[in-house]
Structure 1
């Protein structure tokens, strides 16, 4: 099978749940500790061996493109002030020439449509989709675990990251039914978008990470709108599953839904506590706040 070299990052959303913070700044640039959300997921993709980052953007998202570009004035100032550590940090985070591409999703027509917008850049090869709203704290990262599971498949396969959620919350997610576990992955027998509790095939939710075959683009091109009047990626995957196998990877680590205020704040605490340079002082501050 072809290796996974490209990843799509859908970043065209309006971020209305974080207004007014996102009135003039993309939600993907909100920071968890000292790194923007989008940088965290790009780091995860690079760890997994992704060579080409494809950002599907919308209006007022130019700062994301700027973030992954060189800033000569800033670098010159840091050099003059002998800020070697900061210069090395910027250099490590800046993708090499040709490693990033940007395309527009002119209308907010859903995740499936955003993925379809990147079809010509991806071409005829398997690819990953990484949602910046979802952070997964673990080493190795979630996508690397998925790539390793993908490499063990003998035929064309599609991989979805899943995790358990309480049954009273299954109506909030895409849910999969699975067969018997085989190594790090489980064959998916059913996919349902936001089912009622009584209709859910399990409590395993789709968690913002996908490895998909390029045939999904032909399906998305003619995909009818689904839940919320949007073109749903899950609906297209259900169609593709009739001709290609799908597997679920129950990844190691904890996910944080940074599309919600509580998830975003929790992620900040969790990632900070995972940092040796600030964990001790933060833990003391939290203990004092909690009494």
Structure 2
């Protein structure tokens, strides 16, 4: 165990990205508010954090992301109207934060994930904290961060979620140089951000969940640029390896890369099939659709 075991009560959500892969929808709707069935991606990440015991939510936004702040506010007109009509508003309960529970701050320049997290340094202070990337949708029970907090309470230090992928896909991610393994936990000896094809130290990547010690902010404060000319979180973590413990935990659940269109559709389909209210209908529709495609008819693109 390393150092004083301080509980994880704060979480940072970097949500300043432009979401260009989902244009034109993201011209007016932040990608983090795109819905998986009927709940925004960001709501799933917040619910995951709440389950893990997080008490303060730090949203690092950018220009044009005011809808995120509105989403977690009270919708007075909507709620009053629905209550007046005798309608159930329980679906809105998870969207309203307690006063002072949510903090919104802005990343003025798109200088990378590490820079976005550094923008939250004064709110984080000298406490360990979690980082959740909402477009990495982690689906399981208990949630990913809850699994990580349970492991952190045994191990301390810095704890990163890890995931195995095909080795030929590692050039798009932060990649782990692994040490000893103990069940779902692996020692992290090094980290490489977006290694060139054929140079990755393993097929173990970082899919967007972190528990970090506050000293990471000092390293990020150097403003050193890495891959893509951006300030990379992976590089800052790598600089701390050796002075602080770093371990990885393999998430027991399913991950969807909702930063891609294919992953976003996969998440919608998987969750729809898992829902009691619509699962049977979607399964029947999918079976009919597959049968139609296999017959070579495809879908009509004609518009009347």
Tell me if structure 2 keeps the 8 A contact 1:149–1:184.
Answer: no
The match for 2:107 is: 105
Which of 122, 127, 132 pairs up with 1:120?
Answer: 122
The match for 1:224 is: 224
> Partners of 2:7 and 2:274 in 1: how far apart?
31
Distance apart, 1:241 and its partner CA:
1.2
Q: Does 1:46 align with 2:50?
A: yes
SS of 1:269's equivalent in the other structure is helix
What is the Cα-based RMSD across aligned positions, in Å?
Answer: 1.1
> Partners of 1:223 and 1:22 in 2: how far apart?
29
> Partners of 1:187 and 1:123 in 2: how far apart?
27
Tell me if structure 2 keeps the 8 A contact 1:176–1:206.
Answer: yes
> Partners of 1:90 and 1:32 in 2: how far apart?
16
The match for 2:300 is: none
Q: Does 1:138 align with 2:140?
A: yes
Distance apart, 1:183 and its partner CA:
4.8
Residues 46 and 220 (structure 1 numbering): CA distance in 2 closer, same or farther, change over 3 Å?
Answer: same
The match for 2:97 is: 95
Distance apart, 1:98 and its partner CA:
1.5
Tell me if structure 2 keeps the 8 A contact 1:172–1:194.
Answer: yes
Mean Cα displacement is larger for which, 175-184 or 121-130? 175-184
The match for 2:294 is: none
> Partners of 2:234 and 2:226 in 1: how far apart?
9
Tell me if structure 2 keeps the 8 A contact 1:28–1:38.
Answer: yes
The match for 1:80 is: 84
> Partners of 1:200 and 1:183 in 2: how far apart?
22
> Partners of 2:177 and 2:134 in 1: how far apart?
25
SS of 2:231's equivalent in the other structure is coil
1:47-95 CA deviation, whole Å, 9 max, x = no partner?
A: 11111110000001010000001011111111011112xx122124322
Q: How many residues align?
A: 287
The match for 2:209 is: 209
The match for 2:299 is: none
> Partners of 2:262 and 2:87 in 1: how far apart?
35
After TM superposition, list the pairs within 5 Å mapping 1:264-283 onto structure 2: 264-283=264-283
Which of 49, 56, 63 pairs up with 1:59?
Answer: 63
> Partners of 2:198 and 2:229 in 1: how far apart?
24
Which of 55, 67, 75 pairs up with 1:71?
Answer: 75
1:134-183 CA deviation, whole Å, 9 max, x = no partner?
A: 00111111111111110001xx5101101110011111111102222235
The match for 2:28 is: 24
The match for 2:240 is: 240
1:25-68 CA deviation, whole Å, 9 max, x = no partner?
A: 11111111000111111111111111111000000101000000
TM-score, scaled to structure 2: 0.92
> Partners of 1:18 and 1:53 in 2: how far apart?
25
The match for 2:187 is: 187
Q: Does 1:5 align with 2:12?
A: no
Tell me if structure 2 keeps the 8 A contact 1:7–1:129.
Answer: yes
Mean Cα displacement is larger for which, 230-239 or 266-275? 266-275
Tell me if structure 2 keeps the 8 A contact 1:223–1:236.
Answer: no
TM-score, scaled to structure 1: 0.96
> Partners of 1:93 and 1:285 in 2: how far apart?
31
Distance apart, 1:268 and its partner CA:
0.6
Tell me if structure 1 keeps the 8 A contact 2:73–2:95.
Answer: no
> Partners of 1:208 and 1:91 in 2: how far apart?
26
Distance apart, 1:198 and its partner CA:
2.8
